[in-house]
Structure 1
Amino acid sequence: MALYRATFPTAHTDLFLAYVGMKTDLMFNRGVDLPGFASFPLLKTLMGRTLLESYLKDMITLGKAEGAGVILESPTWVANRDRGAALGYTPVDLKRFNQQAIAMMVEARAKYGDAPTVISANLGPRDDAYAPSAQMDADKAQAYHAEQMSFLPETEVDVIGAYTLAYPTEAIGIVRAAHQYDLPVVISFTVETDGRLPTGTSLGEAIQEVDAATGGYAAYFMINCAHPEHFAAALVDAPWMQRVRGIVANASRCSHAELDEAEDLDDGDPHELAEQLFDIRQRFPNIFVLGGCCGTDMRHMHQIAKAHRPA
């Protein structure tokens, strides 16, 4: 934990870039079929691994060019028991995929080098991120997510990145599971167009609830899978806001329901998105992780990096 926290920020950069928009880019821009919105099966083939590595290379290269650090997120957002089983994979399969993903990122970090680079094991929610059919209590969430985390201590992972969470008790369970395996963890909530979590909880309430139940174990909190205009007004000068250290934004202003029904990709305006993130970071300089989620590609990442380039 101490080693991980010491990584941010470094003497070389006060910005880290994170990218989790790969799945929509693969599906809409590259014509890659991803059943169950899962990218981890790409690890099975040479073509799939080559695609995944290309994103890692692009991110590290961008970080070097723009003087930024990079957080590499593994393609394992849905590589958990329930969502893996729906695709025909066993826990043994999922262990292999989770470990192969980390090994691939470690290899890419060594191969493309130089930019400060963090290896993040990406975890997602058990259920639909935007409309969970049921909410687990913290104990059930810990037991469920501990299985995926149990695959990771023997890898060279740096941190757990739990993305697109919709309610606090699942986040509490994830933090407790990470603590169980002595792994650093970052919690990223998603919000709707009103700036509140899909289950109605405010961002501030969710962060405070998680910290109170876990002794503040999470390294920090983030927001992802929402457009800046959805949550900018919800970011206020309050103690909980100091725990928000990252934003990984959607390109589109559409709601989650609208995005689920969309037949075409809404990639927004890369320059505008970068400027909106810049404005938020100007208001809250404690934010040092920025990046792109649904609808974004490397155009957006280049604009974000340039907008925040150190003077």
Structure 2
Amino acid sequence: MTHRKLPHETNQLFLTDAGFETWLLFIKGFDMPCFAAYPLSRVADGRAAIEEYFKPIFDLARENNTGLVLDTNTWRANPDWGQELGHDLDHLRAVNEEAVTSAMNMRRDFGQGLNVLINGVIGPRGDGYDPKTIMSVEEAQDYHGFQVATFAKSGVDMVSALTITNIPEAIGVANAAAKAGMPCVISFTLETDGCLPTGERLGDAIAQVDARAKTKPAYFMINCAHPDHFVDIIPKDADWIKRIGGVRANASRMSHAELDCCETLDDGDPVELGEQYAALRQLLPNLKVFGGCCGTDHRHLSQICNSLAA
């Protein structure tokens, strides 16, 4: 397999997607038990919606001369969430394989002339807002190794663990990726105080993962928090800020507890969010990957691109 340059290996900026699940739920009106999008890949209207969602992002990347980190539809496709939905390991293995094939087909059909990276997405074992129970590093490596190994065999360019809430799970994913020979990215969920849901400061979490993982992640990301929740915890000269390569922020300033109870979509202010991303780029010297999380969509991505270009 040809090695494609990853974001941390190039000076190019990369776009990635935004609030895919919230778009499916609130905008398209799909029924999504357990907030899982992967079952939609096996029904015709779900597949059509996935293409409807991603094609404009390819267009944005082309218009703005960026690369594209193309996520697989697999955030909930792990054993615990699969069991909640009545799916066994064989079913989940097929789902993960099919998601990679689907992403590769979109790269072929929509990505002509673009640097498109297929990103195998791993979600947390528990809730992306609240870990409830925390695995040991060894348990996390074994648990997430199922998806990582499937992605490695399917030919992804990288794997990313999104909405990770705690340090041992992050280290476990990194070790599973190291075992499979895959570059990996760790993206931490942050609370309104800029800390992980388990209370650790972001800089400490990054330092611990780098120190304890068998192979350091390619880079780290921040997700599922509004920029106002973490901009003040970014120091000017700390080494750890150089390890942050991407941001997928919420459009909403609500806390996770408030979002959990929200029956309507809070999509914030796309123009303001774009301006805040431009400001973050001035604070984070290696920030290369730009996308969104809860409540964001193509409007927010477009404004982010406009602000970065300006």
Shorter-chain-normalised TM-score: which range?
Answer: over 0.9
User: Any idea what SS the aligned residue of 2:60 has?
Assistant: helix
Q: Structure 1 residue 43: deviation in Å?
A: 1.2
| Equivalent residue number for residue 58 of structure 1 | 56
Aligned partners of 1:56 and 1:105 also within 8 Å = no
Aligned to 1:291: 291
SS in 1 for 2:82: helix
For structure 1, list consecutive stretches of 5 or more residues without a partner in the other structure: none
Q: In the alignment, does 2:140 pair up with 1:118?
A: no
Alpha-carbon distance, 1:9 to partner: 6.0
* Structure 1 contact 165–190 (Cα < 8 Å) conserved: yes
- Structure 1 segments, 4+ long, off by >3 Å, are 1-4
Report the Cα offset of residue 2 of structure 1.
11
**How many residues get paired?**
308
Structure 1 window deviating more from structure 2 (279-288 vs 255-264): it is 279-288
Instruction: Name the aligned partner's letter for residue 223 of structure 1.
Output: I
1:220 deviates by 0.2
Corresponding position of 1:37: 35
Q: CA 1:93–1:274 in 2, change beyond 3 Å: closer, same or farther?
A: same
Partner of 2:171: 172
Deviates more, 1:167-176 or 1:55-64: 55-64
CA positional deviation for 1:298: 0.4
5+ long unaligned stretches in structure 2:
none
Aligned to 1:141: 140
Q: Deviations over 1:129-161 (max 9, x none)?
A: 222111111001001000111212221211101
- Identity within the alignment, %: 44
1:108 to 2:106 alignment: yes
RMSD: 1.7
* Aligned with residue 24 of structure 2, among 3, 23, 26: 26
Distance 1:200 1:9, change over 3 A: closer
| Contact preservation (8 Å) 2:184, 2:218 | yes
* CA–CA separation in structure 1 for the residues paired with 2:2 and 2:209: 20
Report the secondary structure of 1:308's partner residue: helix
Deviation track 1:64-108 (CA, whole Å, cap 9, x = no partner) reads 011111111111111000011100111111011111111011111
Residue matched to 2:186: 187
Partner secondary structure for residue 154 of structure 1: helix
CA contact (8 A) 1:137 1:169 kept: yes
Q: CA shift at 1:115, angstroms?
A: 2.0
Q: How far off is 1:19 after superposition?
A: 1.3
Counterpart of 2:93, as a letter, is K
Q: Which residue of 2 aligns with 1:261?
A: 261
C-alpha deviation, 1:39, in angstroms:
0.5
Say which of 68, 71, 82 aligns to 2:69. Answer: 71
Please list the CA deviations of residues 184-240 of structure 1 after superposition, one character each: whole Å capped at 9, or x if unmatched: 100000110000000000000100000001155210000001100000011112011
Q: Conserved in 2, the CA contact under 8 Å of 1:210 and 1:216?
A: no
TM-score, with length taken from structure 1:
0.95
Separation (CA, whole Å) in 1 of partners of 2:238 and 2:92:
40
> Which of 93, 97, 100 in structure 2 is aligned with 1:99?
97
User: Cα offset for 1:285?
Assistant: 2.8
TM-score when normalising by structure 2? 0.96
Distance in 2 between the 1:56 and 1:184 partners?
A: 24
